[in-house]
């Protein structure tokens, strides 16, 4: 590989962690965030590819506001649905492989078992439909690479921050208890993406993969484990924690009740597998506390 790895959406938690993983591996990497490159601008993409000449592109750029997308379908479709096709076309034109990130929200959650790559997509939300459109654009582009669906990301931000911030403030927590998934540690996903970017050969045309953690969970089980570990670490009294049904949350966007992903294909092709989220709870709490200290 003569060119660098180009990360689009490098300002997000996955983009930042993947850049760190590649740097630690000694790989040349360039990260561009939303302010540095508009992925919906075909001419800007072409200019960036001509200037940087990447060997591999990791597209972590996305419209991730799941509920707001219901009121902003055009914005979600522009970034999640159309832009991946533009990135894939640029990658193919300039001889780069593409690793594109997608989501478990392309499924309706009604299978009753973990989803594999052969299962039909049936998204329930604007966000899910936009992400599915992006997948399809990449897969039909002819570009080499991989579309990687992942789920329930756990890092120092997102769900972890939402739960522990309220716990620290002494606020009671109402957490959805009837949604099931396989939580994926951001650091594990970053290492997997870095490994794919450094693979000797990626499929051509691009192939669909699932990458998620090794253990099932509900949001309530996750929250309880985080709060218990935080309480033990800090000595603070844990807040009241109540489980509620997803319907009671009354979110704007519908979410799949069971979006567990089967990651056997990526394990077979590349030897990549996620960890059990329970093994990392203490580390997640510690990372959140350090983040709080820097604020």
Q: 147, 27, 138: which is closest to 89 by C-alpha? A: 138
> Strand 207-210's sheet: what is its strand order?
29-32, 5-8, 56-59, 97-103, 145-150, 207-210
Task: Establish whether 127 is a catalytic residue.
Answer: yes
Q: Is 46 exposed, middle or buried (0-12, 13-18, 19+ CB in 10 A)?
A: middle
Catalytic residue among 63, 105, 127, 209: 127
What residues pair up with 173 in beta bridges, in sequence order? 241
Beta bridge partners of 98: 57, 145
CA distance 252 to 112: 24
Active site residues: 127
């Amino acid at each position: 590989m003569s060119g660098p790895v180009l990360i689009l959406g490098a300002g997000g938690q996955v983009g930042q962690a993947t850049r760190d993983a590649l740097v630690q591996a000694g790989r040349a990497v360039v990260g561009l965030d939303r302010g540095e490159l508009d992925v919906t601008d075909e001419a800007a993409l072409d200019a960036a590819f001509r200037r940087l000449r990447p060997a591999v592109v990791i597209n972590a750029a996305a419209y991730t506001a799941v509920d707001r997308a219901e009121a902003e379908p055009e914005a979600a479709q522009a970034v999640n649905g159309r832009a991946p096709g533009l990135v894939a076309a640029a990658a193919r034109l300039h001889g780069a492989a593409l690793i594109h990130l997608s989501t478990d929200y392309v499924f309706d959650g009604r299978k009753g078992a973990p989803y594999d790559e052969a299962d039909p997509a049936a998204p329930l939300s604007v966000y899910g439909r936009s992400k599915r459109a992006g997948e399809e654009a990449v897969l039909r582009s002819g570009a080499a690479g991989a579309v990687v669906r992942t789920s329930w990301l756990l890092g120092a931000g997102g769900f972890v921050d939402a739960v522990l911030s309220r716990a620290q403030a002494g606020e009671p927590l109402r957490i959805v208890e009837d949604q099931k998934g396989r939580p994926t540690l951001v650091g594990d996903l970053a290492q997997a993406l870095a490994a794919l970017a450094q693979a000797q050969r990626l499929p051509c045309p691009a192939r669909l993969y699932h990458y998620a953690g090794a253990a099932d969970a509900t949001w309530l089980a996750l929250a309880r484990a985080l709060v218990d570990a935080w309480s033990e670490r800090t000595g603070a009294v844990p807040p009241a924690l109540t489980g509620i049904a997803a319907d009671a949350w009354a979110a704007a966007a519908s979410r799949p009740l069971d979006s567990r992903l089967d990651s056997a294909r990526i394990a077979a092709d590349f030897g990549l597998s996620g960890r059990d989220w329970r093994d990392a709870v203490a580390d997640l709490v510690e990372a959140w506390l350090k983040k709080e200290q820097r604020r």
